[in-house]
Amino acid sequence: MPTGIVEEGRLVVEGTRISATIPENAQVIDVSTHWLVPGFIDLHNHGGGGASFTSGTVDEVFKGIHTHRLHGTTTLVASTVTGDMDFLTQRAGLLSELAEQGEIAGVHFEGPFISPCRKGAHSEALLRDPDPAEVRKLIDAARGRAKMVTLATELPGGIDSVRLLVEHGVIAAIGHTDATYEQTTAAIDAGATVATHLFNAMPTLGHRHPGPVAALLEDERVTVELINDGTHLHPAALELAFHRAGADRVAFITDAMDAAGFGDGRYWLGPLEVEVADGVARLVEGGSIAGSTLTQDRAFQRAVTVDRLPVEAVVAALSANPARLLGMDDRIGSLEPGKDADLVLLDADFALKGVMRRGEWVVDPQLG
């Protein structure tokens, strides 16, 4: 996969793909003062535009998907939150149909197999240990479209569930966990390869008890999710993750809920009520952070202009790394001939100006 910045280059789109040849009568758009980057990929997203992937109708889910496309996310994995098993299997069926249609890349189950000590914005009454038989029910309900399951792998059945997920080609993610360093390394050795929103909903890094953060950062087999909204992470924590894991093991996610791209107000995240004020989502009862209102274009702009990360590292975190993790890097994640024409156009200040998905403008740059 190519990396680096190309100046005074050109990119040809023919049909739905990037092409190596220029067709006759091609329309030329001059973007010489702009940045052209691959479409953003979001591994962890609960909704947007006022719509929830966990509880919305098909039309509402489409609204959430389209909201994020308007902000440059051309590929997303739809995430659920903790619910009872019958409800989650029903949602898996609905979301898998959208995956089969190519509207989403798959389904991510965040909960119910998580720790009550680190539940965050999940209903404690609905939490359960990760029984491999129940994990298998969710996989089966998603009809081959389950992409990831977040587990507190220290719970009874956790390690066996990791092995089950690996056997079925589903990403096992460690998150909402109270695991020790040693328990985390055991889960990684069993096949877990993702840290669900690193630092959040897990013990803090300690000098005598390093906990999961140290184990997840140090192991080259693990991709770490980061929510770069200025609320979930201090800039120093973001810098630590990039420095220790390296730019090829970081994936920016939104962990977005309904209010992303919509506005402040009252919302529901599963069975829990959320108050969004000044763009920050918190549970009405207890005040825990409840996902985010982040969109990936804002994550990109903040990473470059506030966190001062290299553009190449940010592009990797938003495109190449998640594409590779999903096993879709033969189609998306970089600007190469033969790949899907998923593009984001940014101005000199890294503000979004255009979005193309599979050769069609979602946001028309109107540059002439």
Rounded alpha-carbon distances, angstroms, from residue 1 to 13, 221, 239, 334, 339: 19, 19, 25, 7, 11
**DSSP bridge pairs for 281:** 276
Q: Where are the domains of the chain?
A: 40-332
Distance CA 149, CA 136 (A): 11
Enter the pTM of the model.
0.96
pLDDT at 367 > cutoff 50: yes
pLDDT at 2: 56
Average pLDDT over residues 315-331: 98
* DSSP 8-state class, residue 319: I
Beta-carbon contacts of 343 under 8 Å, excluding residues fewer than 6 positions away, are 11, 13, 36, 37, 38, 39, 335, 354, 355, 356
pLDDT score for 55: 92
Confidence class for position 5, pLDDT limits 50, 70, 90: confident
pLDDT at position 132 over 70: yes
Q: Is the pLDDT of residue 368 over 80?
A: no
pLDDT tens, 32-59?
889 999 999 999 999 999 999 999 999 9
As annotated, the active-site residues are 255
pLDDT (0 to 100) of residue 4:
80
State residue 26's pLDDT score: 83
40-332 CATH fold: TIM Barrel (3.20.20)
Show Cβ contacts of residue 361 under 8 Å, excluding neighbours closer than 6 positions.
354, 355
pLDDT in tens, 188-203: 999 999 999 999 999 9
1 pLDDT exceeds 60? no
Q: Which two tokens stand for residue 17?
A: 């793909």
